[in-house]
Amino acid sequence: MTLIVRDFRPDDAASVSRVRRASLPYMVTTPAAVAFGVESANPAKKYRLLIAEKDGEIIGTAHAGIAYDSSEPGQSFVTPHVHPEHRGRGAGALILRTAEEHLAAEGARTVYAWVIDEPESRAFAEKHGYRPTRPAHFQRLDLANGTLPPLPELPAGVELRTAADFEADPRPMFRADAEATSDEPSDIGAHFDDYDDWIRHTWNNPLLDRGLSSVVLVDGEVAAFTAAQSDGGTRYMSGMTGTLRAHRGRGLAKLAKADSLRRARAAGYTDAFTSNDADNGPMLAINKWFGYEICATEVRHVRTLG
């Protein structure tokens, strides 16, 4: 058996997407999204998509980079994925070591990784010096057979739009995303103010379905939104749901999600997924109201380099 780790090549996209789907069936991914992640990466991210290849077959991947939009320097991330049929044979360890060496060379002092909450994955993380920090829950909603709650009544001055209505000028969406993201519970706080960078890696992401991404306006201004991702087939995922600080406590996030889920069901999507920090009680409660059920848990882990 010949096992090597190398950098991503454009013709690897379909195989990487296949490995990710097998490793994390609760996520939405496509070959186009895999290639886009490499092509659109900010140079400051020092991003590498590594490939584990055994006898010519791609069996694992790891995306690694510097958290360049964090207010704390020296933070980085890596998450290896090995196809379930090929685990326990050294691919994960080799690809993780390669990623860590790259991050250390780029000045990283700490590295964060997501680990599925199952014995084998937890043991792998512990063996390689990672300790758990915070859990998050994957949730699934059966759009094909489930029943969605009624759409909440629109209060006075409130209207529903989609992200597609902002294609001529996405700046209001950028400002809303920046504020909501800065308040998200996370080990790596993100504070971004680079509009052009946001356009490249978020607004132009092929997974972002602008027609399914609902936006709540209050008196004509963006107050809440849910960013929907889709694979163009049957799988839909809530990429981010947020409410601006001045409008919280009014049920606007629930309104945005309700509208988006209805749009997704009408478009033929059958499985809706989302992921929330285990401490994000308000959003977990909203998802439970819609009928989402926890289908898996992953735990953020951290290791100090050097």
How do residues 41-53 score in pLDDT, each as one tens digit? 999 999 999 999 9
* CATH number, position 240: 3.40.630.30
118 inside domain: no
Is 186 in contact with 67 (CB distance < 8 Å)?
A: no
pLDDT, position 185:
61
43 inside domain: yes
pLDDT, position 282:
84
For residue 191, pLDDT over 70 is answered with no
Q: Which of 64, 83, 108 is the last residue of a domain?
A: 108
304 inside domain: no
Q: Which domain holds residue 70?
A: 3-108
Give the dihedral sign, CA 38/43/45/47.
Answer: positive
54 inside domain: yes
236 inside domain: yes
Judge if 286 and 149 occupy the same domain. Answer: yes
DSSP category for residue 41: -
User: What's the burial of 20, exposed, middle or buried (CB within 10 Å: 0-12/13-18/19+)?
Assistant: buried
305 inside domain: no
Mean pLDDT over residues 261-280, rounded? 95
Query: How far, in Å, are 79, 160, 169, 181, 182 from residue 217 at the CA level?
Result: 36, 6, 15, 18, 20
284 inside domain: yes
Judge if 159 and 235 occupy the same domain. Answer: yes
For residue 189, pLDDT over 60 is answered with no
Judge if 145 and 47 occupy the same domain. Answer: no
Mean pLDDT over residues 163-179, rounded? 96
For residue 173, pLDDT over 90 is answered with yes
Judge if 157 and 261 occupy the same domain. Answer: yes
pLDDT, position 262:
96
282 inside domain: yes
Judge if 76 and 186 occupy the same domain. Answer: no
Beta strand segments in 3-109, E = 3-7, 48-54, 57-66, 75-82
Judge if 103 and 152 occupy the same domain. Answer: no
Q: Which of 57, 87, 108 is the last residue of a domain?
A: 108
Mean pLDDT over residues 102-111, rounded? 97
Q: In total, how many domains does the chain have?
A: 2
Give the orientation angle of helix 281-290 with respect to helix 252-266, to 10 degrees.
40
For residue 190, pLDDT over 80 is answered with no
Supply 205's token pair. 């992401």
Judge if 284 and 185 occupy the same domain. Answer: yes
pLDDT, position 181:
86
Mean pLDDT over residues 147-153, rounded? 88
Averaged pLDDT score across all residues of the chain: 94
Query: What are the tens digits of pLDDT across the range 118-146?
Result: 999 999 999 999 999 999 999 999 999 98
Judge if 159 and 280 occupy the same domain. Answer: yes
Query: What are the tens digits of pLDDT across the range 52-103?
Result: 999 999 999 999 999 998 888 999 999 999 999 999 999 999 999 999 999 9
For residue 163, pLDDT over 80 is answered with yes
Query: What are the tens digits of pLDDT across the range 213-240?
Result: 999 999 999 999 999 999 999 999 998 8
